[in-house]
Structure 1
Amino acid sequence: MFSPARRQPFICLRCLSRTTLSTRTYSNSAQPLPPPPPPSGAAKLTTRRLLFLHGLDAAKFLQGIVAANVRPGAQSGFFAAFLTAQGKVLHDVFVFPTTGTQWYKRTLEGDGGKGSAEENEPGFLVEVDAGQAEMLLKHVKRHKLRAKLQLRLLQEGELDVWSVWREEEKWTRHSSTFAEKPEEATSVAPSSSSGDLDGCLGLVDSRAPGMGRRILLPSTATLGDLSTLEGLEEVPLSAYTLRRYLRGVAEGQAEIPRDNVLPMNANLDTMGAIDFKKGCYIGQELTIRTHHTGVVRRRILPVSLYEPSSTPPEKLVYDGNWTLDTPAQETEISVQGKRGKPGKWIAGVGNVGLAMCRLEMMTDLQVTGEPSTFSADDRFSVKVEGENGEQEAGVKAFVPDWLRGKIRTPKVLKRVE
């Protein structure tokens, strides 16, 4: 007798995205915790992929679908975001202008380009979460219509994304290219024309102080080929992840689920991903309205776990000897002796991580004109599943200095007599 095939249970994209976090968290019982990140290092970001678009309308097209301002002829890369029509975050991305670079020229020649005419056309590499690269490509194609541009996803290994940093360089000056050969390792200023020879694309990661730079290297290149990166040691991806968590920087689908949070909740407004003075783009209406008239009560903040029997830590410090497991994604944070939902755990490594926090409950920030419910005596906790069953760990939220200085204080409306 014919037996029909069983249908697989349907899982919506939002729920599927939430299950991906387990591949990026660290369970102490399954594997040892990584060491603290070194003061200087370079990490290959295997969690990121690149989308290439170029053509006469490339800059104008990007200007209409990303929240950042795409200036024609600009040679400096920037951080940006794709939003839904309702103003929710789809993708957090980095954009690398390629016009005039040797990589662009070689790529056009390899794709059967027409020469110098196409070399001067706008071109961009868009770095996105690797698991969402296909989704971004479909999103861009959906809005392409008759725009004169070409799209393709770079093959894995065609260009690798690297994060490089030196702890003493809190802010690294802009440079658009890095030479592949030691004798050609001179950075090119953003205002200069293409003179990078066999250069590699790069930009400053300006989301938070000390995040360093991002560079794109061919899979055949090594760090030793660039004198600009002399003295840097290659470190695992976990070192880069830890540095992000300690600075309160969320990244990718696992930490910023698509169509789930507003850009302000993920601090994209303070990281430079949104230009509030530019013209129309997808998701602009609600984003501008929230910025000017709304109140952002929840934001992603770095948090630290601690033993409930001890006092909360004064500083955010990574503990490589942390014994409890990492809480599951979106585990609710509770406050002792009070009602309410202070926040949700997002991701972490050992005792440090990120959480979506209600600012006036978990921090001393005041974002509304109403009295704040925060008290320094409040104790917050989160449940952790471990080998010995369910346990509880204390949670302390920290507001980084770079973020505190960018959050606006509420306006007090004076009564007219």
Structure 2
Amino acid sequence: MCKDARSMTSFCMGCYCVPDILGLPECTGEAPSFLLECDSSVLGALQKHLSVYKIRRKVTVEPHPEFHVWAVLPCGPQTSEAAPLEERVEATTVLLRDPRTARMGWRLLTQDDGPALVPRGQLGDLQDYHMYRYQQGIPEGVCDLPPGMALPLESNLVFMNGVSFTKGCYIGQELTARTHHTGVIRKRLFPVKLEGALPASAISPGTLVTVTATGQAAGKFRAGQGHVGLALLRSETIKGPLHIKTSESQMVAVTAVVPDWWPTAAK
């Protein structure tokens, strides 16, 4: 189990419906409540953004810092002695399967002590959590998905239940739907492995990834932890040897990986 650096924002909804947001069994007043998990570094910006779009609807948006977010990751083969987890949606504790992929286990939102709620759970390190999700190709937060730069389809959000093609409307919906139905997505966010001596300051986001044989630009490094990370790459370049030239003029080999949990058509 790893405690994630995320925050919770609640919505008390009147006559306005927000789809795919976690509903709570209890709410102050008569209106139902919903929780939205977000990157804690942009909590204020998200509140302001949602307030702009509520227009004259009877919607209250407020943070709930008393909720702590935990990731419950699989750490090995399941044994017969291990009690299976069961979904819980209560006033102070929510335990649900991670909707992005089964590889990411469960999400636990609670006001109580997280490890005590998971039988045989072992407390992990936040850095290990980030390394694990990078290996699985899971972007998360504004470092991996910079606002105004990360496109939903290039970021593989459609693989992770992050895009709906039946609900609307949202900004960019027409472009996203048209691109999806044409089936032409030239760049994707790939998990990558880095081989070689890394600079002490790590590799900066936006560093160019180059095809070794030709020097042609293949894409850009997005974010990482240690020798694993994510890079936005042109799909036709991922099979060839790639490299990054660091600020110290060092050459770091880059190997792109196609996650085995992706849909077959995308591989």
TM-score clears 0.5: yes
Q: What is residue 48 of structure 1 aligned with on the other side? A: 6
**Mapped contact 2:131–2:226 kept (Cα < 8 A):** no
CA distance in 1 between counterparts of 2:93 and 2:101 reads 23
CA distance in 2 between counterparts of 1:406 and 1:49 reads 34
CA distance in 2 between counterparts of 1:49 and 1:362 reads 35
**Mapped contact 2:159–2:263 kept (Cα < 8 A):** no
1:215 equivalent among 108, 116, 131? 108
CA distance in 2 between counterparts of 1:175 and 1:153 reads 24
CA distance in 2 between counterparts of 1:43 and 1:206 reads 17
**Mapped contact 1:57–1:122 kept (Cα < 8 A):** no
Cα drift, residue 276 of structure 1:
1.0
Structure 2 portions without partners, runs of 5+: 79-83
Q: What is residue 67 of structure 2 aligned with on the other side? A: 159
Report the residue type matching 1:353 in the other structure. G
* Alignment deviations for residues 147-174 of structure 1 (CA, whole Å, 9 cap, x no partner): 122111123xx111111122446xx987
Q: What is residue 324 of structure 1 aligned with on the other side? A: 198
CA distance in 1 between counterparts of 2:142 and 2:34 reads 22
Secondary structure at the residue paired with 1:259? coil
Cα drift, residue 291 of structure 1:
0.9
CA distance in 2 between counterparts of 1:174 and 1:399 reads 31
Report the residue type matching 1:134 in the other structure. G
**Mapped contact 1:270–1:406 kept (Cα < 8 A):** no
Report the residue type matching 1:164 in the other structure. V
Cα drift, residue 248 of structure 1:
0.5
Cα drift, residue 359 of structure 1:
0.6
Q: Could you tell which deviates more after superposition, 202-211 or 259-268?
A: 202-211
Structure 1 portions without partners, runs of 5+: 1-41, 63-69, 71-77, 79-94, 178-195, 308-322, 364-377, 409-417
CA distance in 2 between counterparts of 1:402 and 1:174 reads 23
Q: What is residue 57 of structure 1 aligned with on the other side? A: 15
1:147 equivalent among 57, 69, 74? 57
**Mapped contact 2:190–2:258 kept (Cα < 8 A):** yes
* Alignment deviations for residues 194-214 of structure 1 (CA, whole Å, 9 cap, x no partner): xx5x65113211323320111
Q: Which structure is higher in RCO with an 8 Å CA cutoff and minimum separation 6?
A: 1
Secondary structure at the residue paired with 1:328? coil
Which is richer in strand?
Answer: 2
Two-structure CA RMSD over aligned residues (Å): 2.2
Q: What is residue 96 of structure 1 aligned with on the other side? A: 22
CA distance in 2 between counterparts of 1:199 and 1:174 reads 16
Matching of residue 289 in structure 1 with residue 157 in structure 2: no
1:379 equivalent among 234, 241, 247? 241
Percent identity of paired positions between Structure 1 and Structure 2: 33
Q: What is residue 366 of structure 1 aligned with on the other side? A: none
Say how many residue pairs are matched: 259
